[in-house]
Structure formats: structure tokens, C-alpha cells
Homo-oligomer: A and B are copies of this chain.
Amino acid sequence: MAQITCSIPKGTRDFMPVEMTRRNYIFDTIRSVFKTYCFAPIETPAMENLSTLMGKYGEEGDKLLFKILNSGNFMDGVDFTADYHRVAPRICDRGLRYDLTVPFARFVVQHRGDIVFPFRRYQMQPVWRADRPQKGRYREFYQCDADVIGSDSLLHELELVQMIDDVFRRLQVAVTVKINNRKILAGIANMIGAPDKLTDITVAIDKLDKIGLDNVKSELMERGLTADAIAKLQPVFDLSGSADEKLAQLETLFAGDETGMKGVEEMRTLFGYIASVKPGCEVDLDLTLARGLNYYTGAIFEVKAKNVSIGSICGGGRYDNLTGIFGLPGVSGVGISFGADRIYDVLAELNLFPENLEQQATLLFINFGEKEMARCIALAAQLRNEGVAVEIYPDAAKMKKQMSYADAKRIPYVAFVGESELANGTVTVKDMVSGEQKTVPAEEMEKFF
């Protein structure tokens, strides 16, 4: 048979056992925190109706949706002389999910009769985007989302911060949680007399860290803000001190602006809650944070790892009208999403994965032939029954080959049941790290582990 080149689609990945066990360490940690905060798991199909997905992620997003060709004669009655943008939705009724948020909104509307609100759900599934692949950006990647929907209590914002704190404490990653509030951003836009420029202002402010104050000001100018308005922004850039201090200064700046004042009040309550639980991580009020502004309406979260220059590893916020797009208005929700791939990169860079994660077997029985193997089969069954992961080498291969197998798979113990062990009812166990060997009665093997 001719040699066929084996490959997988660009931007997708195979995961080898060592990567899987490391990824599972991250997923398990996140999941166990989600569980102690009583979030319930759901799953949605990989494919959604294209009508559910289209128009939810902007024009650019529509292009990045993977579309699934209809089965059977997909060409029937379709005009292929039209533009390809128009033809695609005629021959594809379904697409792969692009994130977990829109399917979740669809889920809530579709199953609202069966859901107890407030609904705390988590979801850990892959999503697909036809993005240009590059370092750290894939076409298939996992999202780990937790959202509470059907309540506007700020207690949920607190809990999300606690969950972030718990996850990264367990993973031993030092992080900073940055918090902002969309209402404060709106208050700032109102304050400088440019409420219609909210997006322009936040996009420019968002770049402060990267391009510096002067460049932000030129960009604001380009975006049509007057010099007067930009001057009025100066006090915002000058804000300093603790969250409480910044909020006090904002209160003065906003004077009577209702939206801005509401934002200050929300943040004061939230930071009060946060102070009471004394989180291990740093929590900052960061007015330059403007993430996902399109649908967030209250708090906005972003998490960055200290000591590593990788973008945000977790983010989220409050949205007051997510299910509105599916005909169910007025349901407030708040959520966060952990980026498993970036967290993986952070743990790898900081060398924080626990050792021996990839170890599959605790013990390998060396195979000396049929007669000895019969005893090994019985002993292996006993040990497995106690939850010990053991393997028997499948053939009576040369000792060297069997030992290299144990080495290559980093199996910590090897057991020999040869002629004398068979006669004496014993097993010789070798510690592969120390090299130490010990002969024990077969029935005492379980105690060994």
C-alpha cells in the first residue's frame, strides 16, 4: 500500500497522554471549584443551527464560523452564480459553535420551563473558529465557562472573584484580577460630554498600557473627540490609590450623573464584599479595562498571571440582556470564562505542573512466560481491585526490552515473579528510582502501595 501522508487540519491539535493529563489537571481543578460553588454542568451540541449563530459575533465573526454542508443534494435549487457569502448559508443549515455563551443563551430560552432560576451553570467544551492560526491561537480550543443567570445580585460577582481566587490558588499561579464597570465607563463618557463616543473612548483607553498617554490622546483626537473633552479626561488618568480611593474621586467627578454613580455604587459594594473575604490574589479596580464591551452592562473582569507575559487567562462580566437576542428580554446574568490553553502555557512556563502526572502505571509485572504469567494475572487483578494501576508486559520478551518499556513509560515499580518467587509464593519488587529490590509474600503486595 502506498505511503499516505498523515496530518490534521491546520490550527487543530492531537493531544498525547502527557498533554492530556496536564490539561485534565487544569480542567479538574476548575471543575472542582465550579462544583463547590454549586454550578451545575450542561452540554450543548457541537453544531447549532446557523440561524442561531449568525449575526451574534459581528460581521467578522460570521466569517469565522465553520459551516457544515447539508447532507444529500445540497445543490438542489441553489443559484451558484451569486456571491459566495450568499451561497454559503443556502447550502449550510448548521455551523460549529463559536463560543459557549450564545449556545447557553439559546439553551436558557429553549429550556426556560425546566430551569430553576437563578440558574448556575458551568460548561466545559471545545469551540471552533476559522481564525488564522498562530502561536497560542487555535481553530479548536476549550472554553470553561461558569454563569449565573436570572439574578442581578452582586453576590454573584463576589463569588466569581472567589472562584478565580480558588482556581489559581489551587494551581499555584499568582494572578491579578482586574475589575471595571461598564456603567463607570459610560459615566466617564457622559462627564466629558461625549456619551455617543463611549466605544471610541474605551477602545483608546484600553491601549493606555501599550501605547502610553500621549498616543491615547492623539487616537482620541482622531476618533473625533474635542480637545476640551480630552482635557476633561485628565482627572480619570490621574486617579490613584486603592479601589475605595479611586471610587471616591470618581464620585466627585461624576457629580450627579446617574449611570456613573450607579457604577461607583456597584463597585463599592463589590469591593466591600471582596475585602471581607480576604482573597489571596490581588484585586484591582482598573478603569482601562474595556473587554467585551458590546454586551457587558455592569462588572467586567479580567485575570492576568503575574511573572508571565501572556494575555488574559480568564475574563467575564455582567450582561443584562443576553437572552434578548432569542426573544427573552430582561434576564440578567454574569459569568466568567477560563482559557484553558493559556493557563496551560502559564503552568508550563512557570513549571507548575505536578510531577508524575503522566504516569499511567504504578507497577509493571515482568513476563517470564505462561506459567509465571498466570500468577501475575491473579496478582494484577487483586491490585487493580484495590485501585492500583498495574500492567503486565504482554510477552515473555527479553528482560532488557521489558525494562526499557518500564523506563520509557516512567513506571516507578517493576515486579518479578520468576521460578523461585513462584515456588515460594513471593514477589520481588524493584523501585525503579532508587534501584532497591525487596522480596515480599505475594499476599502482602497490596500493602506495598
* B-binding residues in A (CB < 8 A): 1-4, 6-9, 12-17, 20-21, 24, 35-49, 52, 63-64, 66-69, 71-76, 80, 84, 87-88, 91-94, 96, 106-107, 109-111, 114, 116, 118, 120-121, 126, 128, 130, 140, 148, 151, 153, 155-156, 158, 162, 166, 273, 276-277, 324-327, 329, 358, 360-361, 373-374, 377-378, 381, 384, 387-392, 394-395, 405, 408-409
Complex: A48 Cα to B10 Cα, angstroms: 10
A75's closest neighbor in chain B, by CB?
B84
B residues in contact with A84, CB < 8 Å: 72-76
Whether A360 pairs with B14 at a CB distance below 8 angstroms is: no
Q: CB distance A36 to B88 under 8 Å? A: no
Chain B residues with CB below 8 A from A68, complex form? 66-69, 96
Contact of A384 among B40, B158, B166, B395 (CB under 8 A): B166
Determine the chain B residues whose CB is within 8 A of the CB of A47 once the complex forms.
9, 12, 66, 128, 140
Copies of this chain, tallied across the complex = 2
B128 and A46: CB pair below 8 A?
Answer: yes
CB contacts (< 8 Å) of A387 on chain B: these are: 36
Is A71's CB under 8 angstroms from B63's CB? Answer: yes
Provide the bound-state CA to CA distance between A409 and B121, in Å.
13
A20 in contact with B41 (CB, 8 Å): yes
| A394 and B325 in contact, given A110-B6, A360-B38 (Cβ under 8 angstroms) | no
In the bound complex, residues from chain B placing their C-beta under 8 Å from that of A409 are 116
For A50, give the chain B residue with the smallest CB separation.
Answer: B9
Contact B37 A14 (CB under 8 A): no
Q: How many angstroms from the CA of A47 to the CA of B326 in the assembled complex?
A: 29
Measured CA separation A358–B114 after assembly (Å): 14
Docked complex Cα distance between A44 and B8 (Å): 9
> Contacts of A111 on B, CB cut-off 8 Å?
14, 16
**In the assembly, what is the distance between CA of A370 and CA of B243, in Å?**
21
CB neighbours (8 Å) of A151 from chain B are 394-395
Residue from A12, A45, A130, A166 with most neighbouring chain B CB atoms (10 Å): A45
Of A76, A158, A326, A360, the most chain B CB neighbours within 10 A belong to A360
B17-A42 in contact (CB<8A) = yes
| Complex Cα spacing A17 to B24, Å | 21
What CA separation (Å) do A4 and B387 show in the bound complex?
51
B107:A87 contact, CB within 8 angstroms: no
Q: Which residues of B contact A2 (CB under 8 A)?
A: 327
CA distance A110 to B2 in the complex (A): 15
Q: Can you list 23 residue pairs at the A/B interface with Cβ under 8 Å?
A: A2-B327, A8-B44, A8-B45, A8-B48, A9-B45, A9-B47, A12-B45, A14-B42, A14-B45, A15-B42, A20-B40, A20-B42, A24-B41, A38-B360, A46-B46, A47-B140, A73-B84, A116-B405, A120-B360, A153-B395, A155-B392, A166-B384, A276-B377
